[in-house]
Structure 1
């Protein structure tokens, strides 16, 4: 009996749409770097480390650039094996692929819940609806976009990312003009307390904030698989990532540091807005609020896209239920996976109310270490697949070890690492159990 619904298409990873253009992938890669954490979190990092935080941004930026080179080399050395999660599985084996997939999915599911709550908080002063209704509205809007078509997701992400880029370029231009005109907006000279006002070790405290605010560049390598030229787009993204990190992150932070003292920074408040307000730029608050809302929506949009593709990818390999395998006949998108990821986001957001100190706190605590763990697997896969420029993966591992040491140096992040290690062991045990129950030919 016909239900009037389109029948599911064949269930191979290659059956996903190929409708994204190079401009979409390029802008998605930019959006992955510039999130709400950059606009707000940079103030806390500067307050903690002082002017020396620029060293932290330089090292974190170098690590992000190298990770993108690893992703490029993996894709080009073993084309046709899907996302980097599939590449890890293909190169390192089923168990590492299983762990990489589920930890990466948890990262995005939790991040989406955080962004959903942030979006509702930002919209609350402007839309007279109860907070839960605003959360549902924001999530439903992004889910609807992801259910329309892959091209629709790419187009929305293109314009959201473009607005963020325009905002940063305008900020750099305004700040540079103020510097050239000799305008002073602080009572504390830049180096009045030295380059490391809290000591060089204070840089370690700023490392997690800076590194995790830059996470997300790998989204473009997932999106590139649904473009007409996956390998070419991945290579172009990797080539331009250094310019993106240097041109946006480092220049913007340098402008902030040149105009304001680290003493002016208040953790949790946007330093860019502080600069614009002190320069008496009209409507600065409204403009920055709009930009941060767009940054939140962009992260939620890309997170829903990426998490659904990873879930579908794992289903292809038997690491997730086959229920998430079908793609729609018309637009060739994994509708069930999108809806499941949206539902998981709503559920995690609900735990922030029902169990803020247990379930939600645990999920928020583990995502930082999960990011590092997945980065290590990316580097190991690159070491096995590609032997060109062997210094690159070793340097990347050294930087990742530096981030790990920075997290071990602080009591709060030290406990997060312990929780994350326990969670990874649980995921490993689940993967092992699944492998034992699978038919011999699929292990």
Structure 2
């Protein structure tokens, strides 16, 4: 995560010191070119990717209509996480928020581990998204998945060498396509239910949500086992915090973007699933097939299915593009805090972190190899590790917010202008929910691999931290501020 300051004075004695924690310079060389329109659309579109468009197919087959309830409960937890992040951002709005807050409120190693883990999350997520994009290409063309994955990775790497303003504009329109498509799908399904047109019109009814095996056709256990897929779908909602260093007015745009979380979840996840499952029975969906594409196929709208497949392809590429944007800035933030190689601090004339982006894109090529080795299992193998690494950032956000609120109550720190409602109780609830998801991942044989890899990654981080500390025991990397 980048550690870019957002020069806002808070009127308190330690405000300037807090905001300069990551080193000199108010914006660290970045260009503040992301406007409110772009920030809002990045926030809306950031979480609409493979988790909803591809992963939901497997989740529906496991839980049936009760998946709607899983998304609703998980969505509430996500709102608690985002409001906790919002409270911290308005206390000290830096785009290196996760690692900076972990360093300040938990300890230097927590900041180090959070920064590198979140960077790894986006590298892995980039692999996931490019894997999904390659899978979507098979709808039209009989070409190996690894070939498509390679081409997409190279194209997106090239796109990330442009200015942040162009990046923001591209993401705005990418996200607009996704949002328009989901709203269009909801309206079409509503028309089928009320007017009865297309092949699905004769059977479309809200009663499909409970008449085909009940609302819990696989039992409560089946619903619980989908939670890691559901949580993966919400990963990247926190990306809006990374944009703080390049947004024009973060004190206004970030709270507005965070407050859109409830209706985003209500419309794009819960609303879309209710409509799809009311038009096509849950028994018609299967793992590895986008429920949106499958729904149009079952409706007899082959052209519509092709259009939706193009939209979900765009969604995956958009999310991967956001990942490439994030990774370069995260590496630069780590380097500015003496927690990564100094070479990552270099910027191009356009203010883009070329070295960090190049390094991250090179690692994303590993996803191409996974697609070559296991084309049918690539998505599931990558998604489980992406989930556990992404949830680590959420855990750090919640713990940091709990400790921040405790210091505020003791009068040690200024109060945020964007308080999280119900905190710290809502933060504790969210932490317990994440703990439940991790336990369930251990039960699921497909997701268990991530719990094997996580300790290895933790050991690598621990050894790296000790080496850095031995070289520079008094350095900025080992202080809390």
TM-score when normalising by structure 1? 0.89
After TM superposition, list the pairs within 5 Å mapping 1:254-293 onto structure 2.
254-281=274-301, 283-293=303-313
2 CA distance for matches of 1:353 and 1:295? 22
Instruction: Give the structure with the higher percent helix.
Output: 1
CA-CA distance at 1:273 after TM superposition: 2.2
CA shift, 1:307, in A, is 1.0
Are 1:344 and 2:363 an aligned pair?
yes
Rate the CA distance shift 1:19–1:397 in 2: closer, same or farther, 3 A: same
Cα distance change on mapping 1:118 and 1:79 into 2, 3 Å? closer
- 1:161/1:298 contact within 8 Å kept: yes
Shift of 1:310: 0.8
Q: Distance in 1 between matches of 2:404 and 2:458?
A: 24
Question: Using the alignment, how far apart are the partners of 2:321 and 2:224 within structure 1?
Answer: 31
What is the deviation of 1:38? 0.7
Distance 1:81 1:160 in 2: 22
- Deviation of the 1:54 alpha carbon: 1.4
Cα deviation digits, residues 42-73 of structure 1 (max 9, x gap): 12111111221111111111122111112111
Query: 1:356-390, CA deviations, whole angstroms, 9 ceiling, x for partnerless residues?
Result: 99999976543222222221111111112235532
Corresponding residue for 1:122?
Answer: 136
Match of 1:312 in 2: 332
Q: Which runs of 5+ in 2 are unaligned?
A: 1-23, 407-418
State the SS of the aligned residue for 1:331.
coil
Aligned to 1:226: 246
Determine if the alignment matches structure 1 residue 25 to structure 2 residue 59: no
The alignment status of 1:48 with 2:62, answered yes or no, reads yes
Asked if residue 384 in structure 1 is aligned to residue 403 in structure 2, the reply is yes
Alignment of 1:424 with 2:442, yes or no, is: no
How many Å separate the matches in 2 of 1:262 and 1:163?
Answer: 26
| Structure 1 residue 278, shift from structure 2 partner | 3.0
The farther-off stretch of 431-440 and 284-293 is 431-440
Report the CA distance shift for 1:262/1:121 in structure 2 as closer, same or farther (over 3 A).
closer
Matched ranges for 1:292-371 at <5 A:
292-328=312-348, 330-350=349-369, 352-353=371-372, 365-371=384-390
Partner of residue 82, structure 2: 68
Contact 1:25–1:224 (CA<8 Å) still a contact in 2?
Answer: no
CA RMSD of the aligned region, Å?
2.8
Residue by residue over 1:60-87, the C-alpha shift from the partner in whole angstroms, topping out at 9 and shown as x without a partner, is: 1112211111211111112347433223
CA distance in 1, matches of 2:374, 2:56: 29
Match among 393, 417, 433 for residue 427 of structure 2:
393
Provide the C-alpha distance between the structure 1 equivalents of 2:378 and 2:191, rounded to a whole number of angstroms. 48
Equivalent of residue 375 in structure 1, options 387, 390, 394: 394
- Provide closer, same or farther for how the CA distance between residues 251 and 303 of structure 1 changes in structure 2, counting only shifts above 3 A: same
Q: What is the match of residue 4 of structure 1?
A: none
Of the structure 1 ranges 25-34 and 424-433, higher mean CA displacement relative to structure 2 is found in 424-433
CA 128–362 in structure 1, closer or farther in 2 if over 3 Å, else same: closer
Q: Is the 8 A contact 1:348 1:360 kept in 2?
A: no
- Select between 126-135 and 236-245 the one with higher mean Cα deviation: 126-135
8 A contact 1:75–1:87 mirrored in 2: no
Question: In the alignment, what sits opposite 2:474?
Answer: 440
Question: How far did 1:177 drift?
Answer: 1.4
1:79-121 Cα offsets, whole Å, 9 max, x none, are: 3474332232233222011111111111111221232243344
- Cα offset, 1:207, TM superposition: 0.7
Change (3 A) 1:349 1:97: farther
Aligned residues: 433
Q: Tell me the equivalent position of 1:195.
A: 215
Consecutive unaligned residues in structure 1, runs of 5 or more = 1-9
Which of residues 109, 132, 141 is equivalent to 2:155? Answer: 141
Q: How far apart are 1:352 and its partner, in Å?
A: 4.7
CA distance in 1, matches of 2:69, 2:131: 32
| Aligned CA distance change for structure 1 residues 205 and 83 (closer, same or farther; 3 Å) | same
